[in-house]
Amino acid sequence: MATKKKENKPLKALFAASEVVPFSKTGGLADVSGSLPIALSKLGTDIRVITPLYRQKTDIKKTRPHSKVTVEMNDKKIVVDIRQAEFPNTTIPCLFVDYPEYFDREELYSYPDDAERFALFSKAVYAHLLAEGDYDIFHGNDWQTGPVFYFIKSRGIKCRSLLTIHNLQYQGLFAPEMIEAAGLDKSLFYPGGPVEYYGKLGYMKTGITFADAVNTVSEGYAKEIQTPEYGEGLEGVLKEKGVVGILNGIDTEVWNPAADKHLAATYNYCDLSGKKKDKKDLQKKFGLPAEDDTPLIGIISRLADQKGFDILLESFDEIMSFPIQIVLLGTGQEIYHKEFTKMNKKYKQKFGLELGFNNALAHQIEAGSDFFLMPSRFEPCGLNQMYSLRYGTVPVVRATGGLADTIIDIDHNPIVGNGFSFEEYKGEALVDAVKRAVACYNRKDGWKDIIVRIMTADISVEASARKYLEVYHCLENSPAKKEAAVI
């Protein structure tokens, strides 16, 4: 009986991420961290999420004390509060590493002391793992959790570890002198060594080296990052390690046009009249003429080089010569703020611009647009094209990473096609895809079928969670679990 009971015990997992919806967000990592653990819990995993307690959006009053952990930073012992809250409408705990000196700030990242901030976070996460003592799986995300993988391996706790890479471009690279503050052993730093990246200390590389398994958020990106073109210098390490690709899914409750509180009108695929109202509402919000028949293209994005704005700007005049409207919501690199502001002045009647981060407006753009444009240079998974499918908004994408895995070109495959895509990273290729999209819209014939097809596709986080659970089980059942590895 005792064995049976043990067999039936759910897997206990700790999911660590530097941003988690609804508590904090700058991009897709937050969306995944707020939905995947909940889906894993529904599949029977005993899961907890752990994240820093930032100033941003966190309702501090709703958290309560959970425990205290002691970590060492530059020869000083620091006591850190761990607080707890539940994800809304669930009993799933989210733990918060509460260290105001590092996290009670305006932004989440890009401070000169990021090395120490996320070293402290990693140390607190490890201290929590140690204090609980019975976690089967540690699931860390991106560079901010890199050092935890070393702590687990070197200090020999019996917990298997999975690193998920959401974006390899952000690696957490710091001066080599930070190695002690990071809690890593000095002997690990040498050219080509386990934590060294071209003369710098790399938190992402540390995670990759010491994790038991590594995955990324689409099969396409998993292959791409093992090549020099997309591997950001880590392709060799990743190839040796092996990378599993698991496509992200979306939270179909948060992103649901039939019950979305942010919209002027809700709708579903049986009755799309609400979508027409949302288009009108969106045009009004951006001061564009309320033209029902003019195809409206939405863009919501971090304004970063990764997202393909150089080729969009390069071809902007030509695209604006089409009978279309564009609305863009985004924030990021100054150069794009400047260039799009210029375009906004030039094309007042056709191009609406909102520079900032606005979740409600993001929902309204998904609903009110006819097309959603993502011309990314690279895209690990991309969530907005999936939100667009759900909202009956046809994606126009560059075929890379997760975009290539999720979007099939309608002209190439009219039976199952769900968007428009182009291969070459060039303005002309983007223009051609937009042209084909607009032509399809104007033909009217078959348009409704396309909308129904994309709105009914299964892109939910549940499928993704099942695959993660498989990886957890593989790790749990691998022989190495029996004895904790000590390096």
Residues that bind ligand ADP (CB under 6 A): 27-28, 31, 300-302, 329-331, 357-359, 362, 381-384
List the structure tokens of 236: 């060799």
Distance of alpha carbon 259 from its chain centroid, rounded?
23
- Give the shortest CB-297-to-ligand ADP separation in angstroms: 15
Whether 206 contacts 161, CB under 8 Å: no
- Give the shortest CB-436-to-ligand ADP separation in angstroms: 23
Residue 327 main-chain phi, psi, to 5 deg: -125, 135
Judged by beta carbon, residue 47 or residue 362, the one nearer ligand ADP is 362
- Give the shortest CB-165-to-ligand ADP separation in angstroms: 12
Judged by beta carbon, residue 24 or residue 58, the one nearer ligand ADP is 24
- Annotate 191-217 with b (16+ C-beta within 10 A) or e (fewer): eeebbbbeebbbbbbbbbbbbbbbbbb
- Give the shortest CB-473-to-ligand ADP separation in angstroms: 27
Judged by beta carbon, residue 28 or residue 419, the one nearer ligand ADP is 28
Judged by beta carbon, residue 154 or residue 359, the one nearer ligand ADP is 359
Whether 201 contacts 174, CB under 8 Å: yes
Judged by beta carbon, residue 183 or residue 308, the one nearer ligand ADP is 308
Residue 62 main-chain phi, psi, to 5 deg: -85, -10
Whether 465 contacts 43, CB under 8 Å: yes
Judged by beta carbon, residue 109 or residue 357, the one nearer ligand ADP is 357
Q: How far apart are CA 211 and CA 195, in angstroms?
A: 12
- Give the shortest CB-416-to-ligand ADP separation in angstroms: 23
Whether 201 contacts 182, CB under 8 Å: yes
- Give the shortest CB-95-to-ligand ADP separation in angstroms: 23
Judged by beta carbon, residue 262 or residue 302, the one nearer ligand ADP is 302
List the structure tokens of 272: 């799309």
Looking at the DSSP bridge assignments, the partners of residue 409 are: 419
Q: Is 98 exposed, middle or buried (0-12, 13-18, 19+ CB in 10 A)?
A: buried
User: In this chain, which residue has its C-beta nearest to ligand ADP?
Assistant: 28
- Give the shortest CB-331-to-ligand ADP separation in angstroms: 5
Whether 278 contacts 264, CB under 8 Å: yes
